[in-house]
Chains A and B, each alone.
Chain A
Amino acid sequence: MIDREQVRHVARLARLSLSEDEEARITEQLSGILEHVEKISALDLNGVEPTTHVIELTNRFRPDVPVEAPPREVLLEAAPEGDGDSAGFEVPSPQA
């Protein structure tokens, strides 16, 4: 169904680091689930429209008018601690 290498690849895409144990367990569990799920692949659904929205709506827009936001301090304070000297959101440099 799905092998360890695929599980490692998917974990990288999802930004999850899995221990050896987790990797083994998830490989087995996903294979079991996929086996069940794959029954739908056998259905002949050619020409059937896929459903993204079960209730059909179109053209839901918002007027281009500014809306007041919660105080900036509240939004900035929610950030995990940076080094305290920047009014912003700090991350390890992606270039590192």
Chain B
Amino acid sequence: MLEGIFVDGLIFSIMVIGVLISYRILDFADLTCDGSFATGAAVATMAIVNGTGLATALLLAFLAGAVAGVVTATIHNRLKVPGLLAGILTMTMLYSINIRILGGRANVPLLRIETLYTKFPQIFPMVSTPWALLIGTLLIVFIVKELIDVFFRTDLGISIGALGSNEQMIISMGIDPKLLKVIGMALSNALIALSGGLLAQYQGFADANLGQGMVVQGLAAIMIGEFLFDSNKISLITLRVILGAIIYKALMFLGRYYGYYINLTPSDLKLLTGILVIVSLIVAQTRNAASTADARKKALRRNKERREASMKEDGDA
């Protein structure tokens, strides 16, 4: 059972890395996520059902997500509408598209068919099934994390980071910011869809409503991660995102498992997630204010000491 939380959290963490790229690195408030997560699940499921093979299924999910990201970025670039609106447009359109992909149904099961998660116990026969699932998922997340870490150390990755921090600088360096946004959004949604593709295999079905509320859950995980430690290194940032995702899933598990003592139902979890994000924002704000106040106090004390020292010198002279 404990392994289940970790598997859930690790699959979720790939999606959170996607949200991290749009929200934190590109500074692009993207809601496409709610749609592209389900798209990934739908594409992977239909590919597996039609017998394309597992690797191809995940690759197709990844590419479908990338296309969704390109659409959002293009709407934003060409029509000059805010990213938020562009994302909502794509997300809404994706809902219909996802049902089309699922062959006109809202839900397609993956029963009695080989998926990654039925295969993992065969690949790792020396451990029990839950552990095999955990090891397999961990491996996938590790590979994704390493690739993302390397990507954001390349010249292209660094310039995408710079774009989120200062668009004018990117223009001044002779780079088309629109093209960078397209690339960044494609990568972000590709990861989100990949995560959806994995989740569909883990839980054994794809659902058109799978993506609902994903953005907020992703933000909650990012913020939990940011409490853990502070860094500007990409490898530590992705690490803390993965940890944040697991902690978030653990919290939600506790809410589901022990919630009934205080009359919580599973439908209350969205409310809890929202409150979690709000509390995180408040704590971050107070912490910021406290450290500023502290720095000010220290500066005043240093000034005072310096003044006293110079007065003493004057007295001596």
A binds B: no
Give the A-binding residues of B (Cβ under 8 A): none
